[in-house]
A and B are shown apart, each in its own frame.
Chain A
């Protein structure tokens, strides 16, 4: 059963994990800043959720709950 949560509630309740969400409400309708959504999938991997997102399965998209924590800045090396 879907659970309506804000972005902050998702991070607090399901830290550091990917969720499947739908019916997203964006802040100021800007189309990107997630404000709240229905959480419909817990425990799926990033790849599983992205596959659903690409296929358009039930309008579900993947969402990682916690702020990105990887160090970035990639270069290629031999």
Chain B
């Protein structure tokens, strides 16, 4: 499946606008491992997100920051990220409301066309519904692609059939999402 999204032609960074998400702007950060909501989490809740854990510590090039972990049904064009993990942390001086992480595009070809100001995405399959889960890489958490589905119904049925989908960390342990959250935080 291929899709193309328009980029802000004036911004020096790749930014898309999410009309379905109240016109919020989203920046694609190819160095990021985790999707981020850059404003108050309560506003994210107004957009349907559910709070999973408060006071999560995150670090990156910008230094350490605290945030809260949420889950949200997110769409990017025709792609659907069901129950996507996302951290809300305040970044006032940023002209966007979300940061899209490189890990959201696992198993896809994505191209930032800085000449024509387009974000070209090819999933290499016909599976627009993507399931991201949290992984632990020696203390660093990120999201990874745990499943792809043809449609939301298939996703819902699969999740219903596999209430406890295992996560395998780098130490070989197998954990459910809930156990992993407890262990991490």
- A interface with B by C-beta (< 8 Å): 7, 16, 18, 27-28, 30-34, 45-47, 50-51, 53-54, 56, 61, 63-64, 66-78
Given contact pairs A32-B7, A51-B46, A70-B93, enumerate 12 new A-B contacts (beta carbons under 8 Å).
A32-B15, A32-B16, A33-B10, A50-B39, A54-B47, A68-B12, A68-B13, A71-B62, A72-B61, A73-B32, A73-B62, A75-B140
Task: List, in ascending order, chain A residues with CB within 8 A of B96's CB.
Answer: 68
Taking the complex as formed, is B8 at the interface, i.e. its CB lies under 8 A from any CB of chain A?
yes
- B interface with A by C-beta (< 8 Å): 6-13, 15-17, 19, 22-25, 27, 29, 31-34, 36, 39-40, 43, 46-47, 56-62, 64, 87, 91-97, 99, 101, 117, 139-142, 184
Q: Which 7 A/B pairs are nearest by Cβ-Cβ distance?
A: A73-B31, A76-B141, A64-B95, A74-B60, A78-B139, A32-B17, A33-B9
In the complex, are the beta carbons of B58 and A74 less than 8 A apart? yes
Task: List, in ascending order, chain B residues with CB within 8 A of A16's CB.
Answer: 93
In the complex, are the beta carbons of A76 and B7 less than 8 A apart? no
Q: Tell me the minimal C-beta distance from B143 to chain A in angstroms.
A: 9
Q: Tell me the minimal C-beta distance from A73 to chain B in angstroms.
A: 3
In the complex, are the beta carbons of A77 and B139 less than 8 A apart? yes
Partner of B60, one of A18, A32, A34, A73: A73
Task: List, in ascending order, chain A residues with CB within 8 A of B56's CB.
Answer: 76
Partner of B99, one of A32, A51, A66, A74: A74
Given the known interface contacts A31-B19, A33-B9, A54-B47, the answer about A75 and B58 at a Cβ–Cβ threshold of 8 Å is: yes
Task: List, in ascending order, chain B residues with CB within 8 A of A34's CB.
Answer: 8, 10
Question: Please, which residue of chain B has its CB at the minimum distance from the CB of A8?
Answer: B10
A31 CA / B10 CA spacing, docked (Å): 13
